[in-house]
Amino acid sequence: MLSVFRRYRVIVITVSLCIVAILLISLNIKERKKPHLFEEIIFEVSSPFQKTIQSTVKGVKTLWGNYVFLVNLKKENTVLNKTINALKEENLRLREAAIANIRLRKLLLFKEEFTSPMVPAEVIGEDPSSWFKTIILDKGSKDGIEKKMAVVTSEGMIGCVIEVSISVSKVLLSTDHSSAIDVMVQRTRAKGILEGRVNQTCQLKYVSRADDVRMGDDIISSGLGGIFPKGLLLGRVSKIKREGSGLFQYVEVTPSVDFAKLEEVFIVVGDKSASEK
């Protein structure tokens, strides 16, 4: 016990003097007495320690307050981040709904203006190879779909049905190299055959060099062949070459439909006789 006291005697004596000074000061304040010389000395000696203690206590309180504030702030940030993420998801859904609404409205207007009966279908797949350009639709024979039926959208012609199962069907796009559609230049009625190319464009073949074809001319289906209805847009002239010899001019056509963005289409089912093999 004595060894402990000797080791910490300075601290013990200092603390004791501080306590005595505080008690004496408190008594004097209550009794309104003038402090004695001893009290003044004790007060002067203990003042630095009191300031240190007060400063330490204040620092601890401030540190604790900051810690609590940061903990609460972290919780609030977590809640706010969850709210922001939820709002972003909701905004994304609303934007997607708005885009779908615009797209479906255009399709509905197109269907109302189109005279032949049509069946709406959704694109559910596409040919991954680079050799053939086909898409898969979610309508099949149970929906009245048959081979050689035309497939269209509000932007224009897409292609025709080449395979049919019970619930799905395959469509050959107009940009496929094996596709050949009877068409004409809308402005001059010059006729030709539109064939697909490997670079996502089409070539208007068998157009006489004497025919008037200009850049930007609309290319529409002629109705010949009994598969595609007459007057459907397929694309616009984007390149013309008349150099050299030969009977025909070279005419390149850019499709009016962006095949990479197809989602909903219509299958023309009105003319059953046109779908016979």
> Are 196 and 176 spatial neighbours (Cβ–Cβ below 8 Å)?
yes
Rounded Cα gap, residues 250 and 258, in angstroms: 23
Predicted TM-score (pTM) of the model is: 0.60
Q: Decide: residue 151, CB within 10 A, 0-12 exposed, 13-18 middle, 19+ buried.
A: buried
CA 133 vs. chain centroid, Å, equals: 26
pLDDT tens profile 186-200: 999 999 999 998 778
pLDDT of residue 91: 76
CATH fold of the domain at 118-275: Thrombin, subunit H (2.40.10)
Q: Which of 45, 55, 38, 35 is nearest to 15 (CA)?
A: 45
pLDDT of residue 276: 41
Could you tell me the CA-to-CA distances from 153 to 19, 108, 235, 259 in Å, in that order?
A: 94, 10, 13, 11
Counting every residue, how long is the chain? Answer: 277
> Are 124 and 201 spatial neighbours (Cβ–Cβ below 8 Å)?
no
pLDDT of residue 7: 59
pLDDT of residue 246: 78
pLDDT of residue 111: 67
Dump strand ranges (E) for the chain.
118-126, 134-137, 150-153, 156-164, 169-173, 180-185, 191-196, 202-205, 218-221, 233-241, 250-255, 264-268
pLDDT of residue 132: 66
Q: Could you tell me the residue ranges of all domains in the chain?
A: 2-63, 118-275
Q: Which of 13, 50, 1, 42 is nearest to 25 (CA)?
A: 42
Rounded Cα gap, residues 177 and 171, in angstroms: 14
**Residues 6 or more apart whose Cβ sits within 8 Å of residue 158:** 135, 151, 152, 171, 173, 174, 257, 259, 262, 265
> Are 178 and 134 spatial neighbours (Cβ–Cβ below 8 Å)?
no
Report the chain (277 residues): mean pLDDT per 10 consecutive residues: 56 61 55 52 57 64 71 78 77 71 67 77 79 86 92 89 94 90 93 88 91 93 84 92 83 91 86 42
Rounded Cα gap, residues 254 and 246, in angstroms: 24
> Are 183 and 216 spatial neighbours (Cβ–Cβ below 8 Å)?
no
Q: Decide: residue 43, CB within 10 A, 0-12 exposed, 13-18 middle, 19+ buried.
A: middle
